[in-house]
Every structure is written in structure tokens, then in C-alpha cells.
Amino acid sequence: MAASIRSGEGEIGFQIAPMVDVVFVLMLFFLACAGGQIKERELHAQFPGPGVPSGTAGIIIIDITAEGQVIANNLSLGSPADKRIPALRDWLKATQGFRGNDPIYIRPHPATRHERIMDVLNACRAAGIEKITFS
């Protein structure tokens, strides 16, 4: 099994010219494909900082302390050990007619456990609140 074939005119060896042609064709193909890609551009967008918008009366702000105490509009509701927070749920149902288009703002302390934030979200959902935002 030799790499060359003998003929009457001499030895025919490995031809490199067709291999170079194939490499150039492949390179041309990949260059043509790469030129059609969409270039990413940086978007310059400014987002509002944390906080509750000013000048809106009648909004509901729910603060969650580091210990897990829930305070809605400066009214302490439930205890940190209560997972379902029925006091918050009942208070939200009673005040749900406040302004239906405004979201409820939840402001957890940075040291608040995520489990407690989920408890507050579950209480809001049980009260039928759909528009919730964090600040």
C-alpha cells in the first residue's frame, strides 16, 4: 500500500495543489459568512434609580425589615414568624380599591431573607394584587 502509483511516465505522488485550492475555497466561504453577521452595538439607556416615584398619593409601600417584620404604609402587620401573613393579606384586600392601576412597591432590607420576600409576594397574590414592583 504505497502512497504513490507507478505509471509508464514515472511516479505520481501526493498532489498538494488541489488541497491548497480546497483550503482557499473553504477560507473564502467562511470569510463570506462572517461578513454577514449582525454587529452588536452598545445601547445608552438611563434607568430610574431605586425609590418610589414622588407625587403619587395613595400608593402602597410594603417594607420588610432585616428581621422579617412586614410594614405596609407605616402599619406593622403580622409577626416575623408568620409565613402566610394573614394580616397583610386582609389589609391588602380592604385597601385594594386604592388605585387599581398603581403598583404596590415592596422595599426589602438588604439583609432580608428571600424566603420572607416570597411570603410577602404570596400574600399579595392571595389578595388579588397583580401589579407589584421592587424599589
CB count within 10 Å of CB 102 equals 15
User: Amino acid identity, residue 35?
Assistant: G
Q: The whole model's pTM is what? A: 0.59
For residue range 27-54, list pLDDT tens digits in order.
999 888 877 767 777 777 666 666 666 6
Q: What's the rounded Cα separation, in Å, for the pair 82 and 85?
A: 6
Q: What's the rounded Cα separation, in Å, for the pair 132 and 135?
A: 10
Q: What is the pLDDT of residue 75?
A: 93
Per-residue pLDDT at 11 exceeds 80:
no
For residue range 56-115, list pLDDT tens digits in order.
567 889 999 999 999 999 999 989 999 999 999 999 888 866 555 678 899 999 899 999
- Mean pLDDT in the chain? 82
- The fraction of the chain above a pLDDT of 90, given in percent, is 39
Average pLDDT of the segment spanning 111-132:
90
Per-residue pLDDT at 8 exceeds 80:
no
